[in-house]
Structure formats: C-alpha cells, structure tokens
Chain A
Amino acid sequence: MSQDEDGQLVERAQAGDLAAFECLVRQHQGRLYGYLCRVSRNAADAEEMTQETFVKAWDGLAGFRGKASFKTWLFRIATNLWINRFSRRKPVEPLTEDFSAEPRFEPAASFRQRALGERINRALEGLPADQRSALVLSIYEELSHDEIAAAMGRSEASVNMLLYRARMSLRRSLDDLRDEAHT
C-alpha cells in the first residue's frame, strides 16, 4: 500500500471511520508484529504490544499530522512501548521460542532453523533495547537511517552510532557463539 493510500485511510479513520482503521491494521500488523517479535524475542509479548500499539494509534489518531509516514509513526509508538517494557523487565531466561505458528520445515531444516534462532536470540539478548531496535529496523525492516531516526525519536547521527555499536556487539557475540559451537 502506498503512502497516499495510507494517507487517505488515515483521513477517513480520523473522521471516525472504523472500517478504514481496520484496513490500516490489516495492512501494517505483519511488519509491526514481526518487528516486536524480533526485538522482544517473545511471541506473546509481541502480540500484546502489537495490540497496544494499534489501540494507542487509534487513541492518538487526531494528533497524527502526517509529518512522518503512518508506518514510521506506528514504529515510533511500538518502539516506545518496547523500550519502556524492556527497562521495567526483570532478567529472564533466554527465549528460544520458534516464531512460526505451525511447523513448516522438514525435521533437518527445522533443527537448523531452531539452532539459528537460538544463536540469534543469544546474540541479540546482549544488546541494549535501543541498539536492538535500531538493528532490527535496519536489517529486517530495511528502514533508512532517517526513518529509523524518526521511528526512535533520535537524530540521524545518534542512529549511526547506535547501529555501529550494535553491529560491533553482534559481531563479537556471533564470533563467541561460533567458537562455542566449535569446541
């Protein structure tokens, strides 16, 4: 869906049109849920935060002026929710949940996917919430640095530094995990 189509739906939703808002939910739920799953590494948390993001978006729709795209605005709400939740969270056991709702892979492939998921979990776990967000928005969502800056309420220079630190930490973690796997 183009930004223009989003814009028209947003205008209708701002006038109270629930069907238009539902179109926006169906259009953006996949990316938003994917983003929140990848940063939180927890499917149940991601589902709850996706729901909360859209409810907050509905409540705040009158204040949306279209300076950033609707997608970026949703990522901004979701990022704030995630970072607040992460900062309140007590340390928990590493999450190894398989994100796929149904097993879609052959046993060998599934094993490889689980091993990969576990490796990524452990690598991302070591990152602070803001670095994790910037990295996921960059690598998976393929947002540009200025879009990431808008989604995180940061300057572009600060995003460049976050991404540099995140990628270097990830680099070290993946090296450590590879060494562990080889010993």
Chain B
Amino acid sequence: MKCDKARIQLAGLTDKALSAGENEAVRRHLATCDECRTLLERLRADAELLRQEPAPEVPAGLATRIMAEVRDRSARDNVRNPGIWVMSLATRVAAVVLVAVGIWLGTVLGRGIAGSQPSLAEQLAAHGVPVAGAGQ
C-alpha cells in the first residue's frame, strides 16, 4: 500500500471503521512508514484535543419549549381537520350501516313486491297479450 491510499484509511483506522483486510493492509504500511505513523499519532492527538472541550449544557426548559410548540401544532392540526380519526371512523361506520340498510331494504321490498304484485307474464296475459306458459 502507498502513502496516499494509507492516509485516506487513517481516519477509518482511528475510528475503528476498517474491515479486517483494510486494517491489516494499513497496519502493514504503518510498520514500514515513519511519516504515516507520525501522521496517525497527530490525528489521534487532534481528536483528543477536540474531546477536551466540555459538552455544551442544554439550555434550561428546552424540552418544555419544544413540547409547547409540538402541542400547539398538534392542536392547530386538529382544528384544521377536526377529529380526523373520529371522523374517518364515523364515516366508515356510516358507510357500513348504509350498505347494510340498503341490502335489508332491498330484500324486504323485493319480497313484498314479489308477494303482492302479479308477475310480468300474468300482467301481460291479463291484457290479452299471449304469453307462452301464462295462465296454464
């Protein structure tokens, strides 16, 4: 492995992000290259320096402010689409009820019409229209 390629892999080596094969190849190069070994030490020292900076403290009440905005948006969405879930559930229930009522009415009225009214063949025969099989 040449220095150019090894240097690109040094960040991966520092972060333990290399595959076993890549790791082995970089380590073999480092064993023979003082310059790249020195660079690796410096990169590690730079990372250590950055880590010395204390973690930023979360401003007091940040979560409360975030949740106030989330609640506000949630409430506004509910006003724009009032009870979207309830409405869609109610719509679905209403559709099922309507279909059921339609089927029931169709069945009942169908039976009633079939039971009380003469058939088409009987009506035609009553008006003197000859219909095969009517009145037999």
Contact = CB atoms under 8 A, between A and B. Distances in A.
Interface of A: 16, 18, 21-22, 25-26, 29-30, 33-34, 37-38, 43, 46-47, 50-51, 54-55, 58-59, 99-102, 104, 113, 116-117, 119-120, 138-140, 144-145, 160-161, 163-164, 167-168, 170-171, 174
Given A50-B66, A164-B11, A34 B56 contact: yes
Task: Give 9 nearest A-B pairs by CB, closest first.
Answer: A99-B56, A145-B17, A163-B11, A37-B56, A101-B57, A54-B66, A164-B8, A58-B70, A26-B63
Nearest to A23: B63
Given A51-B69, A167-B11, A34 B62 contact: no
10 contacts: A18-B71, A22-B63, A29-B62, A34-B55, A55-B70, A58-B73, A100-B54, A139-B47, A145-B12, A167-B43
Interface in B35-67: 39, 42-43, 46-47, 49-60, 62-63, 65-67
The dominant DSSP class at the B interface is helix
Interface of B: 7-12, 14-15, 17, 39, 42-43, 46-47, 49-60, 62-63, 65-67, 69-71, 73-74, 85
A34, A55, A119, A139 — most chain B CB neighbours (10 Å): A139
A120 B53 contact: yes
A30 B73 contact: no
Contacts of A58: 70, 73-74
A112 B7 CA distance: 32
Nearest to A142: B15
A171 B42 contact: yes
**In the complex, which of the residues B49, B58, B67 has the most CB atoms of chain A within 10 Å of its own CB atom?**
B58
A101 B63 contact: no
Given A29-B62, A47-B62, 11 more contacts: A18-B67, A33-B56, A33-B62, A50-B66, A55-B66, A58-B73, A99-B57, A104-B54, A120-B49, A164-B8, A164-B10
